[in-house]
Structure 1
């Protein structure tokens, strides 16, 4: 058995855990990341890579904008650009009701200082003539961006290691003891870690940790199906999303089209699998062709998914435990964690080092699940047909 003493133990080597470790190390904290697999292997490394600002939950904008500023400094922070590109994000609507929806999103975005272009069909034909005439209106945010999720988390973890962070992979937490203002983290490899604070950033597996301390949340595991096509002549610059959720896609400079086909699919956190049904591939490509007819004959060359944690209000849990001083939660990011990851890590570091953060995190408290919460329309649309999750699998 080996023993390690640190200031902060972070459970989960995804993007949230890596950024938290990085910012804590910059404040001279001794930090260990404990990852059951490899760093960035789940949703942090398998997501679409969108850094979307428009269309966010209103209470998330202060955090989201703070995070975007960090993304814009990515190369200065970690020494790697990770294919970060300020591509802009185009939200499409196909009828009047959807138009009203994107305009409502835009109004909230503008309240927080984001510049939004409101586009009529003539604007769309002029700027992006390859779009289908089915698109009746769109909004465009030039500040929105993309990055390569396969690159980012390992790069942040390397930068954190350069600051002295210890990263332990293939190591599963089995028990966390607390008392006297300190914690002892036990693992299946025999390593025990003594620390003053713990960050629960275990993604779809975070509930088991929270429940050790008398807290819970209706966490639901799911997998967002992702696809990539063969290279095609490059002509699509922005990241594009249909507000009905049927398709979101972008083209990388190498020519490949990356797209996601919703609704999400079932995921198994026990077997650690998130298979993509063949029918999803076909429906995703059909949806893509309806938006960009020129891509009707593109061929998919690879499909994949990861395991994400979802909550019924589609809002993550971020902040201190309600039962245990020194414990902090950061899970249930509902597919939004890539964009806000740097900001979450910075805020957690401030709460641990300074005792507070200036970024409002009250909407993300785990305490909200002490009473029933309203189920988000998107969650109902995607998951009402799914079987109830096995809570023991989380």
Structure 2
């Protein structure tokens, strides 16, 4: 976990009842809680560990529309607006800056993909630009990389994961939401076939609806209730440098590295071309659903059979309300950092922009990302469990769209017109 995460102090007392229970204290669940509190709807958010302890504080902080599926772009556009409004809404900066994001192409094939994407979203007027090598050097000077071109979206931006979710959580509490940390939800309670509460390790809360925003844990939770959510885990390793004079405020993604400016003057860097994909039992159970992703992205997956498989195998997949659950055994998931990938990322960054040479690394961490077969989340009611809504499977995009995704989930559970068309996020598409 990054050592810069801003802690949130909350109550330890569990209320007897509420209108809506949210499971999961990441960016999506917390923003949903804020939205519901602002609507004066009683809401209790339960987090098995601590707020933003997993991927919501471990991501790159990018807020982007570039390279998203066309039907996912409206959610990203709505998120842009909500990120810009957030400081006034919650009374605190979240480090948001509309500084732009640029993706570099080293080959004609890569550039063709960016050109095709740019054409596919042209009606959405995103302001994305296809750049020549000279234009790249103008925006990000002092580079030595041999680039065919790039795609650049000036309206993309960044925020700080170590402060954003925590700041939103504090505002949600001030506006009436109840947040309880170190409190795992074990099972759902039903009455006459409909959700009527949740059973936690500290007791039961009666409620009318439940929103599950449990990230990579959502599949296991739903599996205990007979619902198969098709997500698989990947692990991304990330580093933060000491303050350094960098080439630009623009976030830059190359084929095998990425960097963006951090609020303290350093840079957040990762090996963009590679993530770890340790084999688990779920790969054997639902792996065929991911065959298209594997076919097109196999070079970016560092697939390994290691101890992760056996640790996952030993973790229960079904349990009763009076049983200790996996969520109590693992309060905060701490994946192992792949220092080899981070060394590659740093070396590749230095090769492209030598001004990063001799930069000191302040810290490194890893985060577990839940990926769906089409890299698009599920934000939908679960028809087989009336009263349950799911917002999960964000496939590494959850922080950037988090405020809009959380509001969309809140719209669904409170039955108001949705902030965007929810149809791309239907559960039944699988």
Same fold, judged at TM 0.5 (above): yes
Q: Which residue of 2 aligns with 1:298?
A: 359
Q: Deviations over 1:189-245 (max 9, x none)?
A: x23111001001011111133224432122212221111122212442100112x3x
Q: Which residue of 2 aligns with 1:101?
A: 113
Partner Cα separation in structure 2 for residue 62 and residue 251 of structure 1: 26
SS of residue paired to 1:249: strand
SS of residue paired to 1:135: coil
Q: Which residue of 1 aligns with 2:385?
A: 324
Q: Which residue of 1 aligns with 2:207?
A: 195
Q: Which residue of 2 aligns with 1:373?
A: none
Q: Which residue of 2 aligns with 1:250?
A: 260
Q: Which residue of 2 aligns with 1:265?
A: 276
Q: Which residue of 2 aligns with 1:352?
A: 413
Aligned length: 366
Q: 1:28 aligns with which of 18, 34, 40?
A: 40
Partner Cα separation in structure 2 for residue 174 and residue 127 of structure 1: 51
Question: Stretches of 4+ moved more than 4 A in 1?
Answer: 266-271
Q: 1:240 aligns with which of 252, 256, 273?
A: 252
Q: Deviations over 1:111-136 (max 9, x none)?
A: 21200122111222333322224122
SS of residue paired to 1:4: coil
State the TM-score, normalizing by the size of structure 2: 0.81
CA shift for structure 1 position 351: 1.7
CA contact (8 A) 1:32 1:165 kept: yes
What RMSD over aligned residues (CA atoms) do the two structures have, in Å?
1.9
CA shift for structure 1 position 3: 4.9
CA contact (8 A) 1:266 1:274 kept: no
State the TM-score, normalizing by the size of structure 1: 0.88
Change (3 A) 1:277 1:196: same
SS of residue paired to 2:367: coil
CA shift for structure 1 position 41: 0.6
Partner Cα separation in structure 2 for residue 56 and residue 248 of structure 1: 17
Unpaired stretches in structure 2, ≥5 consecutive residues: 1-12, 279-307, 313-325
Partner Cα separation in structure 1 for residue 409 and residue 241 of structure 2: 38
Change (3 A) 1:163 1:114: same
Name the stretch that deviates more: 131-140 or 266-275.
266-275
Q: Which residue of 2 aligns with 1:53?
A: 65
Change (3 A) 1:274 1:127: same
CA contact (8 A) 1:14 1:201 kept: yes
Q: Deviations over 1:136-187 (max 9, x none)?
A: 2112111111010010111111111011111010111111111244422111
Q: Which residue of 2 aligns with 1:378?
A: none
Partner Cα separation in structure 1 for residue 14 and residue 343 of structure 2: 50
Q: 1:38 aligns with which of 44, 50, 68?
A: 50
Q: Deviations over 1:311-367 (max 9, x none)?
A: 222111111112122210011111000111111111122222235425222222221
Q: Which residue of 2 aligns with 1:11?
A: 23
Q: 1:341 aligns with which of 402, 409, 417?
A: 402
